[in-house]
């Protein structure tokens, strides 16, 4: 007897009329037309069943702090950083925990069940680190939270920077972070990359750095990151986040850089919602988009994810934990409108970030955990188009959240009608 049988689902790879059979916490079989007795049977009615959304780049210590202690009037990165500096001394552990837990509830409702969050380690009290370690423990039954030790103010700018980062790792933070473009000089930036990769190699940890998040075509720390990854044998364990300077780099140089990155099996996170608003702010017209070169990175065989980065914090006043909104923006900014590219955008908020986090048992195959989301869409492209309703969200075979289907009743010219948003039927 199965615990759960989900019938008549479409999977992200296009397979239709699929059944997913669950016993305990695991998927035991995925097959077309499978029918077997189960405690709970759900007819997906041809809708899309996806593995959960994954966010490979977030700042949970800042989330939902919008307006504290004041609103970012200019909406720029620099005012955001200044605002965060004003807010930090006012933070309390309880407020950090409360806001993070609220965000995690939002995430669950949106089918987002794994998040890699950076946590600022520049505060000598490590208040945010302790708060997010507590949150990680509390949400473990429903969200896989991975923490990155992130020296927001630069690890070498402060004589105690490296010590604080190491203390955060000692407390249980999972991943080594960095921000080389924010160190005082390019040389110090390169030195920070070397030092932090070395630290990760010594401790057997992964690396995820904010890297080259500027419009400066000569900000080239990603080159050092690829080189150190290669030198230390950290292949596949290092991620470059943002990489916005790649947008402005010389094309010839990028053709060389892509090969270095692929050789080091570097992984990449672009953050389209944030970088389309923050980059190019010193430009007049034409204005650069600023997002890293996603299609070219993918074509070079490099794993790329789209991250949310911020939700209602000093840098970004919008967002709701909806990774389909992130994919939607990424698709537009990168002009990824071919059929295969649109599907890649869906992968960039599901399977690709799952690889970056190193999630075990992720996917819709026998043996994987029974974690999945039923969407009010017939395929991944339609899911992005509609930012589709997450009808049901499952974790380890148990229902975590459900949202009623989006429908609209019409009263136009005396006509009573109902809108079927799934208008791609038959296309
Ligand atoms: Fe970030």
CATH code at position 106 = 3.20.20.140
Does 306 reside within a domain?
yes
Residues 12 and 107 in one domain: no
Residues 69 and 141 in one domain: yes
pLDDT band per the 50, 70, 90 thresholds, residue 57: very high
% pLDDT > 90, the chain: 91
Contact assessment for residue 379 and residue 10, using Cβ atoms and an 8 Å cutoff: yes
In whole angstroms, what is the distance from residue 136 CA to residue 109 CA?
18
Express each pLDDT in 111-130 by its tens digit: 999 999 999 999 999 999 99
The structural domain count of the chain equals 2
% pLDDT > 70, the chain: 99
pLDDT band per the 50, 70, 90 thresholds, residue 427: very low
Residues 202 and 311 in one domain: yes
Residues 14 and 138 in one domain: no
Does 308 reside within a domain?
yes
SS (H, E, C) the chain: CEEEEEEEEECCCCCCCEEEEEECCEEEEEEECCCCCEEEEEECCCCEEECCEEEEEECCCCCCCCCCCCCCCCCCHHHHHHHHHHHHHHCCHHHHHHHHHHHHHHHHHCCEEEEEEEEECCCCCCHHHHHHHHHHHHHCCCCEEEEEEECCCCCCCCCCHHHHHHHHHHHCCCEECCCHHHCCCHHHHHHHHHHHHHHHHHHCCEEEEEECCCCCCCCCHHHHHHHHHHHCCCCCCEEEEECHHHHCCCHHHHHHHHHHHHHCCCEEEECHHHHHHHCCCCCCCCCCCCCCCHHHHHHCCCCEEECCECCCCCCCCCCCCCHHHHHHHHHHHCCCCCHHHHHHHHHCCCHHHHHHHCCCCCCCCCCCECCEEEECCCCHHHHHHHCCCEEEEEECCEEEEECCCCCEEEEECCEEEEECCCCCCCC
Does 425 reside within a domain?
no
Express each pLDDT in 184-233 by its tens digit: 999 999 999 999 999 999 999 999 999 999 999 999 999 999 999 999 99
Model pLDDT, residue 75: 87
Model pLDDT, residue 422: 85
Residues 16 and 81 in one domain: no
Is the overall model pTM greater than 0.95, yes or no?
yes
Does 25 reside within a domain?
yes
Residues 240 and 263 in one domain: yes
Residues 380 and 244 in one domain: no
Distance 378 CA to ligand 1 centre (A): 32
pLDDT band per the 50, 70, 90 thresholds, residue 426: very low
- Say if residue 171's pLDDT is above 50: yes
pLDDT band per the 50, 70, 90 thresholds, residue 413: confident
Burial bucket for residue 358 (CB in 10 Å: 0-12, 13-18, 19+): middle
Dihedral sign, CA of 262, 263, 265, 267?
negative
Residues 145 and 197 in one domain: yes
Does 98 reside within a domain?
yes
Q: Pick the catalytic residue: 144, 213, 228, 382?
A: 213
Could you confirm whether 382 is annotated as catalytic?
no
Residues 321 and 389 in one domain: no
- Say if residue 41's pLDDT is above 80: yes
Distance 77 CA to ligand 1 centre (A): 11
Range of the domain at 103: 53-357
- Say if residue 21's pLDDT is above 80: yes
- Say if residue 385's pLDDT is above 70: yes
pLDDT band per the 50, 70, 90 thresholds, residue 88: confident
Distance 405 CA to ligand 1 centre (A): 33
Segment 39-56 shows an average pLDDT of 98
Of the residues 321, 342, 357, which one is the last residue of a structural domain? 357
Does 418 reside within a domain?
no
Of the residues 334, 357, 380, which one is the last residue of a structural domain? 357
Residues 43 and 61 in one domain: no
Does 422 reside within a domain?
no
Model pLDDT, residue 81: 83
The chain-wide mean pLDDT, for the chain, equals: 96
pLDDT band per the 50, 70, 90 thresholds, residue 53: very high
pLDDT band per the 50, 70, 90 thresholds, residue 423: low
Rounding to the nearest 10 degrees, give the CA dihedral for residues 236, 238, 242, 247: -60
Segment 383-405 shows an average pLDDT of 97
Residues 35 and 116 in one domain: no
Distance 308 CA to ligand 1 centre (A): 9
Distance 209 CA to ligand 1 centre (A): 9
Distance 33 CA to ligand 1 centre (A): 44
At 367, which CATH number? 2.30.40.10
Does 424 reside within a domain?
no
- Say if residue 246's pLDDT is above 70: yes
Distance 57 CA to ligand 1 centre (A): 6
Residues 237 and 306 in one domain: yes
């Amino acid at each position: 007897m199965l615990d759960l049988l989900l019938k008549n689902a479409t999977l992200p790879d296009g397979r239709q009329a699929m059944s997913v059979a669950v016993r305990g916490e695991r998927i035991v079989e995925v097959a077309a037309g499978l029918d077997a007795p189960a405690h709970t049977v759900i007819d997906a009615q041809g809708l899309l069943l996806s593995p959960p959304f994954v966010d490979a780049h977030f700042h949970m210590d800042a989330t939902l702090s919008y307006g504290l202690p004041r609103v970012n009037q200019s909406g720029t990165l620099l005012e955001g950083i200044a605002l965060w500096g004003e807010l930090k001394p006012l933070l309390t552990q309880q407020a950090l925990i409360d806001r993070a837990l609220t965000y995690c509830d939002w995430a669950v409702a949106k089918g987002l069940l794994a998040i890699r969050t950076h946590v600022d380690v520049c505060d000598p009290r490590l208040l945010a680190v302790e708060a997010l370690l507590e949150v990680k423990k509390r949400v473990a039954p429903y969200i896989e939270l991975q923490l990155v030790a992130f020296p927001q103010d630069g690890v070498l700018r402060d004589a105690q920077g490296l010590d604080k980062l190491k203390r955060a790792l000692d407390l249980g933070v999972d991943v080594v972070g960095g921000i080389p473009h924010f160190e005082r000089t390019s040389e110090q930036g390169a030195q920070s990359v070397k030092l932090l990769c070395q630290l990760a190699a010594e401790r057997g940890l992964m690396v995820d750095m904010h890297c080259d998040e500027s419009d400066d075509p000569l900000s080239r720390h990603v080159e050092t990151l690829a080189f150190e990854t290669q030198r230390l044998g950290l292949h596949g364990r290092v991620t470059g986040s943002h990489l916005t300077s790649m947008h402005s780099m010389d094309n010839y140089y990028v053709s060389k850089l892509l090969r270095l990155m692929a050789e080091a099996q570097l992984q990449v996170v672009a953050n389209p919602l944030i970088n389309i608003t923050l980059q190019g702010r010193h430009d007049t017209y034409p204005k650069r988009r600023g997002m890293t070169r996603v299609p070219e990175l993918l074509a070079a065989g490099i794993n790329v994810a789209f991250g949310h980065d911020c939700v209602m914090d000093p840098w970004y006043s919008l967002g709701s934990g909806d990774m389909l909104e992130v994919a939607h923006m990424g698709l537009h900014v990168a002009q990824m409108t071919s059929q295969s590219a649109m599907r890649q955008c869906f992968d960039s908020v599901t399977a690709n970030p799952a690889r970056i986090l190193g999630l075990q048992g992720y996917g819709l195959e026998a043996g994987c955990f029974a974690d999945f989301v039923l969407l009010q869409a017939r395929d991944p492209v339609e899911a992005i188009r509609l930012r589709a309703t997450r009808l049901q969200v499952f974790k380890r075979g148990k229902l975590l959240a459900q949202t009623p289907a989006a429908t609209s009743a019409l009263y136009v010219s005396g006509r009573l009608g109902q809108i079927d948003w799934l208008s791609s039927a038959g296309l």
